[in-house]
Structure 1
Amino acid sequence: MILDADDLDAAQTYKILISTIVPRAIGWISTLSKDGIPNLAPFSFFTVVGRKPPVLSITIQHKSDGVTLKDTYVNIHDTGEFVANLVTLPLAERMHKTAFEHLPEVDEFEAASLEKAPSVVVRPPRVALAPVAMECKLEREFTVGDFGDHVVWGRVVRFHLRDDIYNPANSHVDTAALAPVGRLAAEYTLVENVFTTPLEPTILQERQGTRMHRLDGRPADWSAVGQKNWSPSGSVLEK
């Protein structure tokens, strides 16, 4: 099937993008408001865009009403600082809770029962249990598209790497020990398979046509995108 992107509305395009550009890394972004209130929220329009200096990119949509700016963007715009934390399986449920649309005065660390750890250069705290965290200073910001999605680039000024995953002798991070959680459409995936090519033909044949294995016990064809509380803004509304 061939679809003309100009014929699709924003929700249709969004569904296709988030369902096919997978898995996406989750930028679990911690910030501080001008008044010093901590904020923590996950973003999967997140990637690295530069290596020297190291630069990360986050695309931040509006809240589910399509108008209100998200606290993460407001805080980065106002203070010029943030921290990108890595999400692992033990942290996944609490990460999901930080996607709820809390009021600006709510500390999401406290709402999700997460311990803070101090940063070195920037003011926003880190997620204490995250094996990787990157302190960032705002490098640039701009808007993209008809709805004015905000893109922020942050220059990494400090890396926090758990001692058991990093070998300073060769700058090697033991990625296979991380088991990070990634984003699919409106669901998550645990990255736990590692391989190099070529694979044995028997392995390819055994896996041909197989579906992803669900860890949550739901039916194999269940999709969060098809649920009534799904929002094209990517927000999760707390009930």
Structure 2
Amino acid sequence: MIIDTGDLPEAAAYKLLIGSILPRPIAWVSSVSPSGIANIAPISFFTAVGRRPPMISISLQPRSDGLTLKDTFGNIRDTGEFAVNIATTPQSDAVHRSAYEFEPHEDEFELLGLEKAPCDVISAPRIAASPISYECRVNRIIPVSATENVVWGEIVRFHIRDDLYLENGRIDTAALSPLGRLAAEYTHIENVFTTPLPDETLAALDGARMRRLDGLDSAFSPINTPLWSPSGSTRPAAP
């Protein structure tokens, strides 16, 4: 299959991107409005940009109507600050529910039952249960279209849970239990290896489907359900 992107609809391009860039790390972004209303959103278009200064990027699409800018972007643009919290598998349901499209006047920490932790130098709160958080100041905002923007954030503080910080300045990644984003689902990252792997291991993995942790059939996809939405913003039930 060869697809020419010249006439590719936006929704189709999005599906191809999220279905092929796998797994994606999740920036669980906390921000605050100029009036003091806290917001949380999971952003899976997220990566490192540079080391000196330490810099990350997040890309923000519009709300499900395809036109309205997300509260997260408005807060970041208006305050110049945000926090990125690293999510773990035990937090996966809260992460997913934080994608729901709440009203701008609603404090999402309260709605999701998440505890706030203060940041040192920015006004936005951190998610207290997150094992790693970054306090970020906006370095630049790069418009991609009228409704999509890339934000570069300079990390001014790292918050790392003590047991994860090793003496030589490394993160104990095997103890982190990181959560990854697939197309419309999540993955628990639990395997680690160096190459080369034994031939029999490679043979067993070649063509194998992923193992599901939720007990559903291996061919299940939420895309085939009536409540699916690309961003996860559709609410299956009240949080």
Q: Please indicate, yes or no, whether the TM-score normalized by the shorter chain is above 0.5.
A: yes
Give the 3-state SS of the residue equivalent to 1:91 in structure 2.
helix
Tell me the distance in 2 between the aligned counterparts of 1:227 and 1:221: 13
**TM-score, reference length from structure 2:** 0.95
1:47 corresponding residue in structure 2: 47
2:196 corresponding residue in structure 1: 198
Give the 3-state SS of the residue equivalent to 1:58 in structure 2.
strand
**TM-score, reference length from structure 1:** 0.95
Q: Is the aligned partner of 1:227 residue 2:225? A: yes
Q: Is the aligned partner of 1:218 residue 2:222? A: no
1:138 corresponding residue in structure 2: 138
Tell me the distance in 1 between the aligned counterparts of 2:97 and 2:121: 27
Which 5+ residue runs of structure 2 have no aligned equivalent? none
Give the 3-state SS of the residue equivalent to 1:159 in structure 2.
strand
Partners of 2:57 and 2:150 within 8 A in 1 = yes
Counterpart mapping for 1:1-239 below 5 A: 1-145=1-145, 148-167=147-166, 169-232=167-230, 234-238=231-235, 239=237
The farther-off stretch of 180-189 and 204-213 is 204-213
Identity %: 51
- Which digits, 9 at most, give the CA deviation of each residue in 1:65-118, with x for residues without a partner? 111110000000000000000110111111111100000011111111111111
Please report how far the alpha carbon of residue 210 of structure 1 lies from its aligned counterpart in structure 2 after TM superposition.
0.9
Tell me the distance in 2 between the aligned counterparts of 1:6 and 1:229: 30
Cα 1:180–1:43 change in 2 (3 A) is same
Please report how far the alpha carbon of residue 207 of structure 1 lies from its aligned counterpart in structure 2 after TM superposition.
1.6
Please report how far the alpha carbon of residue 235 of structure 1 lies from its aligned counterpart in structure 2 after TM superposition.
4.4
Please report how far the alpha carbon of residue 228 of structure 1 lies from its aligned counterpart in structure 2 after TM superposition.
2.6
Tell me the distance in 2 between the aligned counterparts of 1:227 and 1:9: 22
Give the 3-state SS of the residue equivalent to 2:25 in structure 1.
coil
Tell me the distance in 1 between the aligned counterparts of 2:142 and 2:225: 32
Which 5+ residue runs of structure 1 have no aligned equivalent? none
Partners of 2:67 and 2:147 within 8 A in 1 = no
Give the 3-state SS of the residue equivalent to 1:173 in structure 2.
coil
Number of aligned pairs? 236
Tell me the distance in 1 between the aligned counterparts of 2:101 and 2:62: 11
